[in-house]
Structure 1
């Protein structure tokens, strides 16, 4: 059974770039194409051995002391991606949960208010009880330029 965990944004907030902020009470309904996928990154790793979510700094290649017990991987997509594929130790897997991400008060959040504009997605993967994990992830933009972006992380 997969248990729900709090969003890693709770402990590790991330400031948004130029994405649409819905914190203003004067926002108007917009009609525009969804933003192209611009980045994917392993945002955080949940480890029962580390006591919860731990942010993963950009360009990190490996983490030590995390594997075993409850182990979850949160991948942040900025923009609209699809055909999400993850690999755990070479075996293909799908995320067990994908949540919309929007911008409120200049920060990304998974608690999107009604009428907010979705600017990305958080995809969650289960690596429970694995003693060593080689994780790889890719997503393809749903619109032009339809590029495929990927990220990876080794967890010990």
Structure 2
């Protein structure tokens, strides 16, 4: 009985070595990855006191409800790949944007979810969402170990867009479960 098992095992190993099941003559196509510009928070830190009056110091507290959302920055190849910082309550970009790459960064203060963006009426999901914490009184995506996220930076892909309207909404993941939104005209 043991000899049959050993012979069967050896024969199967020999067959798999001669005829590999997973060999391919043609390489599979590789999807192009979306490349991102550096974080807009690196060049232009925003004070945590400017966007929200909530204090996030307790170590053991419920996650903060979504308190504000706004388009933080827009970057494009037409603008030299540099981020144009928008800030709260702005309705349009000051610079002309477009070209091969166009990225839109939205800052959420508080815990939101079910995020949606619309670029000229076409619904988009963010291609990247990074946690944001407060370090030295400013928002940053480079959160030290042990820090608490106080919000999120959501990045959207608008490649090929020359001008148009970007709209965004997010719903708070906890009480009062409100939905906040913002929009920006991209020139």
Is TM (by shorter chain) over 0.5? yes
SS in 2 for 1:95: coil
Structure 2: state its 5+ residue gaps: 1-32
- Confirm or deny: 8 A CA contact 1:127 1:133 kept in the other structure: no
- SS of equivalent to 1:10: helix
- Which structure carries more helix by proportion? 2
**Paired residue total:** 149
Report the counterpart of residue 24 of structure 1 in structure 2.
Answer: none
Partner residue, 1:13 = 45
**Matching of residue 107 in structure 1 with residue 107 in structure 2:** no
**Secondary structure, aligned partner of 2:48:** coil
Q: 1:82-123: per-residue Cα shift (whole Å, max 9, x none)?
A: 100111111111000000000011110000111100000000
Residue 19 (structure 1) shift: 4.1
Partners of 1:57 and 1:36 lie apart in 2 by 20
Partner Cα separation in structure 1 for residue 169 and residue 122 of structure 2 = 14
RMSD, aligned CA = 1.5
Instruction: Identify the range of structure 1 (118-127 vs 29-38) with the bigger mean alpha-carbon deviation.
Output: 29-38
Give the TM-score normalised by the residue count of structure 2. 0.75
Secondary structure class of the residue paired with 1:92: strand
| Equivalent residue in structure 2 for 1:45, among 64, 74, 85 | 74
TM-score by length of 1: 0.89
Structure 1 residue 47: Cα displacement: 1.6
Structure holding more strand per residue? 1
Return the alpha-carbon distance in structure 1 between the equivalents of residues 44 and 91 of structure 2. 19
Is the Cα contact below 8 Å between 1:100 and 1:110 reproduced in 2?
yes
Equivalent residue, structure 1, for 2:120: 89
- Return the structure number with greater relative CO, CA threshold 8 A, min gap 6: 1
Matches within 5 A, 1:14-93: 14-17=46-49, 18-20=54-56, 30-51=59-80, 52-63=82-93, 64-93=95-124
d(CA) in 2 for partners of 1:69 and 1:60? Answer: 25
